[in-house]
Amino acid sequence: MLLNREDVEKLCLLSRLEITPEEMDDVSAKLSDIVNMVNQLQDAETSGVLPMAHPLDQSQRMRKDKVTETDNQEQYQQNAPLVERGLYLVPKVIE
């Protein structure tokens, strides 16, 4: 297999994604299949080819730097898991 358990565990940490121990073998096997499939790209002759940045070769438009959005804090926080006095509550992040 192209990706072993350790590789997948590292990817999980980088992605902040929990995979249960029971899922681990299946995930490693399927990820290895996918990486094997995308490895076909390595054979393509691409020297001198510019990587695509936009399918229609457009560049990013700029807009005027002015305020367009109004304050919707209360409405937005209705979707929040935990809010107190208008603040999003999160677990303790400083040891």
Partner 1 sequence: MHDATISQLAQKLKNRTISSKELTEYFLTRISRLDPSLNSFITVSQEEALAQAKAADARLASGDVTPLTGIPIAHKDIFCTKGVKTSCGSRILDNFVSPYDATAVAKLKAAGAVMLGKTNMDEFAMGSSNETSFYGPVHNPWDTDRVPGGSSGGSAAAVAARLVSGATGTDTGGSIRQPAALTGITGLKPTYGRISRYGMVAFASSLDQAGTLTRTAEDAALMLQIMAGADERDSTSLPESVPDFSRAQRSIWENITIGVPDNFFDDSLETQNAQLIREALSVFEKLGARIKDIHLEHIRLSVPAYYVVASAEASSNLSRFDGVRFGHRAKHFEDLAEFYMRTRGEGFGSEVKRRILTGTYVLSAGYYDAYYLQAQKVRQLISQDFARAFETVDLIAGPTTPTPAFRIGQKTDDPIQMYLNDIYTIGAPLAGLPALSIPCGFVKNLPVGLQLIGPHLSEEKLLKAGFYYQQETDWHNHVPPGYEA
Q: Can you tell me which of 21, 63, 65, 66 binds partner 1, judged by CB under 8 A?
A: 63
- Measured in degrees and rounded to the nearest 5, phi and psi for residue 80 equal -80, 140
Q: Tell me if 70 contacts partner 1 by CB under 8 A.
A: no
Strand partners, 60: none
Round to whole Å and give the CA distance between 36 and 86: 48
Smallest distance from the beta carbon of 30 to partner 1, in angstroms? 6
What is the sign of the dihedral through the CA atoms of 60, 61, 62 and 63?
Answer: negative
Other beta carbons within 10 angstroms of residue 7's beta carbon come to 15
Give 42 or 67: the residue with its C-beta nearer to partner 1: 42
Q: Tell me if 21 contacts partner 1 by CB under 8 A.
A: no
Smallest distance from the beta carbon of 54 to partner 1, in angstroms? 7
Q: Tell me if 66 contacts partner 1 by CB under 8 A.
A: no
Q: Tell me if 25 contacts partner 1 by CB under 8 A.
A: no
